[in-house]
Amino acid sequence: MATKYTRYTKAQFVQTMRKMADAYHLAYIGNFVPETETYEYVYKMKTKNPAVDILIYSAVDKRTNKMRDNGKDAVRLVMRWQTKNGYIYKRLAKHLRIETLFVNIRKTLVDSVSNVFHLNYREFKKENPAMG
């Protein structure tokens, strides 16, 4: 069976992310500007641990407000942890824009937020994996 890529608007993406944030008691921050410039909208969700948040790279191009071409990009989720030495990052998931995209994002969020107080420093890197 062939994978069917789906399209969504910026508004649909934002609305779904807000609903997920409410459902899992995350503080939805909205459009976030990461330390490194990117051409896509990035959203941030704060977790119950004030030093940890989740960055969601949307695959919606800021220059056009449209999704990138099929197969050119995916939605990426990254955990960011603020330590005494600065931010460190852990790649959580890369989800293709297929029919189950938001279900897949939800699963990643559920798994990630359940463990924000028991993090393993060795699983994190200084470089943001979504930017590489």
Whether the Cβ atoms of residue 17 and residue 9 lie closer than 8 Å to each other: no
Identify the helix (H) or strand (E) that includes residue 37.
none
CA dihedral (21, 24, 26, 32) in degrees, to 10, reads: -40
Strand ranges inside 3-112, DSSP E:
27-32, 40-46, 52-61, 66-67, 75-83, 86-95
* pLDDT value at residue 1: 46
Do residues 57 and 75 lie in contact, with contact meaning Cβ atoms separated by under 8 Å? yes
Q: Give the separation between CA 131 and CA 42, rounded to whole angstroms.
A: 11
**Is 110 in contact with 24 (CB distance < 8 Å)?**
yes
Measured between alpha carbons, how far is residue 97 from residues 27, 28, 40, 101 in Å? 24, 21, 14, 5
Structure confidence by residue, pLDDT tens digits, 3-30: 677 778 788 888 888 888 888 777 777 6
88-127: pLDDT as tens digits: 999 999 998 888 888 899 899 888 888 899 999 999 999 8
Comparison of pLDDT for 36 and 98, the residue scoring more: 98
